[in-house]
Structure 1
Amino acid sequence: MASISLRNIIKRYGHGPKANQVIHGVNAEIKDGEFVVIVGPSGCGKSTLLRMVAGLEEISDGEIAIGPRVVNQIEPAERDIAMVFQNYALYPHMTVFANMAYGLKIQKVPEAEIKTRVDKAAKILELGALLERKPRELSGGQRQRVAMGRAIVRNPQVFLFDEPLSNLDAKLRAQTRLEIQKLHRELGVTSLFVTHDQVEAMTLAQRMIVMNGGRMEQFGTPEEVYGSPASTFVAGFMGSPPMNLLKGQVDGGSFKLKGITLPLPAAAPRPGALTLGLRPEHVDAWSSTQTQPGAWPLRVEMIEMLGAERLVYGRLGEEAFTLRIDGTVTPPAIGDTLYLEVSARHLHWFDSETTLRVNP
């Protein structure tokens, strides 16, 4: 196993003034044995970053180190990494055993050791009964486990996962996430996992890199990223539904939005133009005015029933706002006014110009 160091990583396509820079100076230190998820929307550079670690993309500037070795000029086959792709990449004419063993045969590993390694990986992934089947006889989830098994048998220093669950349905994705978590606990191999799904990122990551437009917006634990987002992008991307983000003006103890002025439960970090963030679940709602002074009036426009919870969509003045309530609570009617009580500890403040977090 080994750590991974990303030191001012830059990627450009083309040369000169017309060069298109897609990765902008990413710096991250990934610890030995750590499971790190790279998450972001399509086109943000997350797969490009992973492919540079793998050696499948050249680095325009900066350094990548795996353990003590800088690997910029080292071929992919010599980096001691194993990669799991979105499309499984299994040989259709080979059995499960042969697919898992193929890389070892190319390396001329002795037959006895190949069998030992494949049997061990098959046991970990519960593939023992499927070793003689061909890929066409397997479900999508089983094929993905075979792809992971092929990576495991190599005993690499680093696992790289490039959106491996994208082709699975929702139930299989959830099941395979659990299998990947179990796999990491058993093997403890340093892992980089790319996904656009923030639920996958939150459930799998020990730490996560949130990418946006080729830049690293935040690197931290799921709790840090969700609880203290570094920018409005992170606040809006991580969480379902996303954080409410209200642009306005702080004036004394109030926050002026379009069409309404809201009293604040505590002073803002500074006066002037700021963006206020508030998670949909961090609000208490009442259907009457008999609440604490300073409640915010929310005009209800739509309600979604999601089983254990409901999402209430409405307006604070002219600004859209989403509220999450328990599914067992009698919902308001469309057109009703709910009165919201908020706690100062749940308010997040961001600079309206830079979009970066402003701490008290």
Structure 2
Amino acid sequence: MMKIKKISLLRLATSMSLIISLAACTAGNIDPAKALTQMHVTKSDDYKKRPGWAAIENISQNDCKTYKSGGKSLLQWKNKPCNAKGLIEAVNDKSEAIPVFYAAYHEYGSYEVGTLSSFEAGYQSSEDIIMISANLAKVLSSSSNVDAIYKDYQQDRWSMGLNEVDKDSFYKSISSFTTKKDAMLTAYQKTHAENQQRYKAESEDRKKREQEDLFASDRAINLVLWPNPSPEQQMIVDALHTIKFTIRNDGVVYANGRRFMSSAGMESLKNSLNISLESCSDVGAYVGEKILSRACVQGFARDIVEWGETAKDHSISDRAWNAAAMDGSINYNPIKYEILFSHWAGMARVYASRGD
């Protein structure tokens, strides 16, 4: 009976001590809720304010999804939930991983460490993880940085749900991680170089497929410019008929396989031809010789035929052809609203001779 009384008195004394402590804190204008937090009676969400927490939430969802779909994941999720709690549970399964995990969370988003460009599994995210790891190892090489991280770990770990790691083990784990700094940097450089080659190859393949699809969409069109052409207009129609005009899915009209103009702007072709024909008519009227007008139109028709033949010349690159278009097409040449077919062809040859 005496023993039971002693136990009861001991419990009472302990309870009174706790009450007196809280009362003293209150009297000293300290919030009791904060006192409870310091005593690990309530949890704080302050750790969620760091950028690393949002990263943990994103990584947990994507990495867990990768694991459960049979992909290569960072962690073994098994039956753990696909959220931050599940990720921390997975980390807690290997206590030696806790210090580096917390340090990565703590430093994530800083200028020295950086961020992930994407949380989806892939080439770039793998490269980013190696880069962040190498940067983190460099940051953790400073003992003052590790001291600050460990101090915050002591405050955060209970609220975050991380298991406790004693100070010696914490520092030992960090030290072991930093020894791999050079190896991680080498791995990052290798992965980055491989990814650049992979991206280049994928980009070239994609462009090749797009170009093949574009060529496959090529279909002939019949230019009908004048319903009842005059003799002069007919000469131009005959010249245009020596050229194969097609349209592709990019909405561009091509002349003998060379880029010509947007299909939406084809009405401007008729307008340009009419202006050129009117100029020829004006020449004949000026000197009073209609034959000069006809000769002018014949020369213009020959220019169109020559332009089409130049488009077939494979020694002239598309780059040279498109550059010449800037000199001869409607919007850029000195003669407003007219297409200078002969000038276009001539400048294509000039640019080609320069190696364009």
The TM-score by the shorter chain falls in which range? under 0.3
Q: Give the number of the structure whose alpha-carbon radius of gyration is greater.
A: 2
TM-score, normalised to structure 1, is 0.23
Give the structure with the higher percent helix.
2
TM-score, normalised to structure 2, is 0.24
RCO higher in structure (CA 8 A, sep ≥6) = 1
